[in-house]
Amino acid sequence: MSNPLRGEVLRLYKNLLYLGRDYPKGTSYFRERLKTAFMKNKDITDPEKIKKLVDRGDLVIKELEALYFLRKYRAMKKRYCEPEH
Protein backbone atom coordinates (compact mmCIF):
# COMPACT_ATOMS: atom_id res chain seq x y z
CA MET A 1 0.00 0.00 0.00
CA SER A 2 1.38 3.43 -0.89
CA ASN A 3 2.23 4.76 2.55
CA PRO A 4 1.70 8.54 2.33
CA LEU A 5 -1.68 8.13 0.64
CA ARG A 6 -2.88 5.50 3.10
CA GLY A 7 -3.50 8.29 5.61
CA GLU A 8 -5.46 10.26 3.00
CA VAL A 9 -7.63 7.29 2.15
CA LEU A 10 -8.35 6.53 5.81
CA ARG A 11 -9.15 10.19 6.48
CA LEU A 12 -11.58 10.19 3.56
CA TYR A 13 -13.24 6.99 4.75
CA LYS A 14 -13.69 8.32 8.30
CA ASN A 15 -15.09 11.63 7.06
CA LEU A 16 -17.55 9.90 4.75
CA LEU A 17 -18.60 7.51 7.52
CA TYR A 18 -19.29 10.49 9.80
CA LEU A 19 -21.37 12.18 7.10
CA GLY A 20 -23.26 8.94 6.53
CA ARG A 21 -24.96 9.22 9.91
CA ASP A 22 -27.36 11.81 8.46
CA TYR A 23 -27.99 9.94 5.22
CA PRO A 24 -31.73 9.93 4.39
CA LYS A 25 -31.84 6.22 3.55
CA GLY A 26 -30.18 5.29 6.82
CA THR A 27 -26.68 4.88 8.29
CA SER A 28 -26.37 1.14 7.56
CA TYR A 29 -27.41 1.59 3.90
CA PHE A 30 -24.72 4.24 3.50
CA ARG A 31 -22.04 2.29 5.36
CA GLU A 32 -22.58 -0.83 3.23
CA ARG A 33 -22.23 1.06 -0.01
CA LEU A 34 -19.26 3.06 1.29
CA LYS A 35 -17.40 -0.13 2.21
CA THR A 36 -18.22 -1.75 -1.15
CA ALA A 37 -17.02 1.32 -3.03
CA PHE A 38 -13.71 1.44 -1.14
CA MET A 39 -13.16 -2.34 -1.32
CA LYS A 40 -13.65 -2.27 -5.08
CA ASN A 41 -10.47 -0.17 -5.38
CA LYS A 42 -8.39 -1.81 -2.66
CA ASP A 43 -5.82 -3.28 -5.06
CA ILE A 44 -4.89 -0.04 -6.78
CA THR A 45 -1.27 0.94 -6.09
CA ASP A 46 -0.59 3.76 -8.58
CA PRO A 47 -0.39 6.97 -6.46
CA GLU A 48 -1.81 9.03 -9.37
CA LYS A 49 -4.89 6.87 -9.54
CA ILE A 50 -5.30 6.86 -5.76
CA LYS A 51 -5.07 10.67 -5.67
CA LYS A 52 -7.77 10.88 -8.34
CA LEU A 53 -10.07 8.59 -6.37
CA VAL A 54 -9.48 10.56 -3.15
CA ASP A 55 -10.36 13.77 -5.01
CA ARG A 56 -13.54 12.12 -6.23
CA GLY A 57 -14.28 11.16 -2.63
CA ASP A 58 -13.86 14.80 -1.54
CA LEU A 59 -16.35 15.73 -4.24
CA VAL A 60 -18.82 13.21 -2.84
CA ILE A 61 -18.42 14.88 0.57
CA LYS A 62 -19.34 18.22 -0.97
CA GLU A 63 -22.33 16.66 -2.73
CA LEU A 64 -23.56 15.13 0.53
CA GLU A 65 -23.25 18.44 2.36
CA ALA A 66 -25.28 20.10 -0.39
CA LEU A 67 -27.89 17.31 -0.26
CA TYR A 68 -28.27 17.65 3.49
CA PHE A 69 -28.58 21.41 3.33
CA LEU A 70 -31.19 21.37 0.55
CA ARG A 71 -33.27 18.71 2.26
CA LYS A 72 -33.31 20.65 5.50
CA TYR A 73 -33.93 24.01 3.80
CA ARG A 74 -36.82 22.64 1.76
CA ALA A 75 -38.38 20.99 4.82
CA MET A 76 -38.10 24.18 6.87
CA LYS A 77 -39.42 26.30 4.00
CA LYS A 78 -42.40 23.99 3.58
CA ARG A 79 -43.20 24.05 7.29
CA TYR A 80 -42.55 27.66 8.15
CA CYS A 81 -42.86 29.86 5.07
CA GLU A 82 -46.03 31.08 3.42
CA PRO A 83 -46.34 29.84 -0.17
CA GLU A 84 -45.45 32.62 -2.59
CA HIS A 85 -48.22 33.84 -4.91
Interacting residues of 13 by C-beta distance below 8 A, sequence separation 6+: 34, 38
Per-residue binding string, another protein, 15-44, x by CB under 8 A, is x--xx----x--------------------
Amino acid at 37: A
CA dist 74 and 32 (Å) reads 27
Choose the binding region for another protein from 7-15, 31-39, 42-50 (rule: CB under 8 A).
7-15
Half-sphere exposure of 48 (CA within 13 A, CB side): 0
| 82 touching another protein, by CB under 8 A | yes
| 54 touching another protein, by CB under 8 A | no
| Residues in contact with another protein by the rule CB under 8 A | 11, 14-15, 18-19, 24, 61, 65, 68-69, 71-73, 75-77, 79-82
